[in-house]
Amino acid sequence: MTDLSATTGVTDRLSGTAQQEPGRDNGNPDPIRRFLDQYNPETPCLVMDLAHVRKRYRQLRTALPDARICYAVKANPTPELVGELVSEGASFDVASPGEIELCLAKGAAPESLSYGNTIKKRRDVARAFQQGVRLFATDSEADLTNIAEVAPGSQVFCRVLVDNTGSKTPFGRKFGCTPAQAARLLVRARDLGLDPCGVSFHIGSQQLDPAAYQHGIAAAARVFADCAEQGVRPRMVNLGGGLPAEYTDTAPPLADYVTAVERALERAFGPQRPELLVEPGRFLVGDAGVLRSEVVLVTDSCDGQRRWVYLDIGRYNGLAETEGEAITYRLRTSRDGDPAGPIVLAGPTCDGDDVLYQRTHYELPRTLRGGDHVDLLSAGAYTASYSSVGFNGFTPLPTYCVDGDQRP
């Protein structure tokens, strides 16, 4: 095992990057696999290809040329990755003081940050304002009052609650208000001396139905119209996140989402096209990461039906999104090609809920045994950032970055 340094968590706690991808040749399009083969890092670990993140950012930039792209840092707060997006000219959707500090430390300008969490402490709003942040999401009178008092004159956008049907990980009812309430809040924002700049929504993460954007855009248009009646003119629509990564269910291509957005904008706003902001998380980083795990044990089930495959990665050290089997990662093993059979996949902890897939049909090679590797593909989003600090003594998931475009 080579001694590697990885980065974990929101702050630069550990040194440097396991970096680069030495000896890349043009014949090998998979720098992550080369890194894993060459360094054989301790498992479990996440490996991110920064070149892939750049590619996705540029793809979105081209597809929505007039939209401000705010990377949702929560999807993957690896410092190198944030730094890479700063270099690309991205803006950032941040949810906490920790994410603000991370972005600033990686060179982001404070005016490129959007404090997109509607649930924030008054003192955290004050601190963000002192650090230069001037754009805040809100969806309640209490939060709006805090913003007006400790971040005077700032821009605020109001989040509306929209239908999340089609999303693999919907938001429920935690965030957002009705269009009528949003209009009232934006008018109140004006009265409090703030700049009521727009409306946001989130169609639910891993949204597989591009038409979902219609609900949000139509709701935003209703808010704009209500506000206009009271002399307030919001100008921006924040499309939120929702763009998908590639799991076992095939997602529509980006072009379908862009078409849906453009049609909905045309229908709802006509020639008065608003300024656009988009907050992609999963789309930028999901497919850029591979999570390498090791098989701990393979056992026969008591009913003799399916084998149980236990990995050293589970619900608590990175795979939180397998809850409810919502996100179904594509798997790759070192024994692919051998005859396969149905399995239940589970994590390593002494916790009965640490089962990844038992309803979803998965098959793995019958030859698979302890010590073999299982790679979870497209695992770059909401994995390392969700990993616990030490449940059952398992350490947080380390992240390594490679750069598939980097020459030796």
- Positions annotated as catalytic residues are 350
- Bond from prior residue into 44 cis (ω within 30 degrees of 0): yes
Smallest gap, in angstroms, from Cβ of residue 96 to ligand PLP?
A: 11
| Exposed/middle/buried for residue 322 (C-beta within 10 Å: 0-12, 13-18, 19+) | buried
Taking CB under 6 A as the rule, does residue 398 contact ligand PLP?
Answer: no
DSSP string for residues in 164-193: -TTEEE--TTSS-B-HHHHHHHHHHHHHTT
Q: Which is nearer to ligand PLP, 112 or 205 (CB)?
A: 205
| Exposed/middle/buried for residue 340 (C-beta within 10 Å: 0-12, 13-18, 19+) | middle
Q: Which is nearer to ligand PLP, 79 or 241 (CB)?
A: 241
Give the separation between CA 115 and CA 81, rounded to whole angstroms: 19
DSSP string for residues in 20-39: --TT--TT---HHHHHHHHH
Q: What does the per-residue mask of binding to ligand PLP show for 117-156, with x meaning CB under 6 A?
A: ----------------------------------------
Taking CB under 6 A as the rule, does residue 210 contact ligand PLP?
Answer: no
Find the binding residues for ligand PLP in span 230-289 (CB under 6 A): 240-243, 279-283
Smallest gap, in angstroms, from Cβ of residue 240 to ligand PLP?
A: 5
Q: Which is nearer to ligand PLP, 36 or 161 (CB)?
A: 161
Cβ-proximal residue to ligand PLP, closest one = 241
Taking CB under 6 A as the rule, does residue 72 contact ligand PLP?
Answer: yes
Q: Which is nearer to ligand PLP, 41 or 281 (CB)?
A: 281
Q: Which is nearer to ligand PLP, 54 or 74 (CB)?
A: 74
Find the binding residues for ligand PLP in span 97-116 (CB under 6 A): 116
Taking CB under 6 A as the rule, does residue 90 contact ligand PLP?
Answer: no
Count of residues that bind ligand PLP according to CB under 6 A = 16
Give the separation between CA 121 and CA 5, rounded to whole angstroms: 34
Q: Which is nearer to ligand PLP, 48 or 344 (CB)?
A: 48
Smallest gap, in angstroms, from Cβ of residue 305 to ligand PLP?
A: 35
Give the separation between CA 403 and CA 48, rounded to whole angstroms: 8
Smallest gap, in angstroms, from Cβ of residue 87 to ligand PLP?
A: 21
The SS3 call for residue 82 is: helix
| Exposed/middle/buried for residue 272 (C-beta within 10 Å: 0-12, 13-18, 19+) | exposed
The C-alpha torsion from 220 through 226 and 232 to 234, rounded to 10°, is: 10
Smallest gap, in angstroms, from Cβ of residue 3 to ligand PLP?
A: 33
DSSP-derived pairing of the beta strands 195-200 and 155-159: parallel
Taking CB under 6 A as the rule, does residue 202 contact ligand PLP?
Answer: yes
Smallest gap, in angstroms, from Cβ of residue 75 to ligand PLP?
A: 5
Under a CB-based contact definition with an 8 Å cutoff, are residues 1 and 41 in contact? yes
Under a CB-based contact definition with an 8 Å cutoff, are residues 249 and 166 in contact? no
Query: Distances in Å between the alpha carbon of 320 and those of 180, 282, 294, 327, 353?
Result: 35, 14, 18, 9, 11
Taking CB under 6 A as the rule, does residue 93 contact ligand PLP?
Answer: yes
**Interface contacts to ligand PLP, rule CB under 6 A:** 72, 74-75, 93, 116, 202, 205, 240-243, 279-283
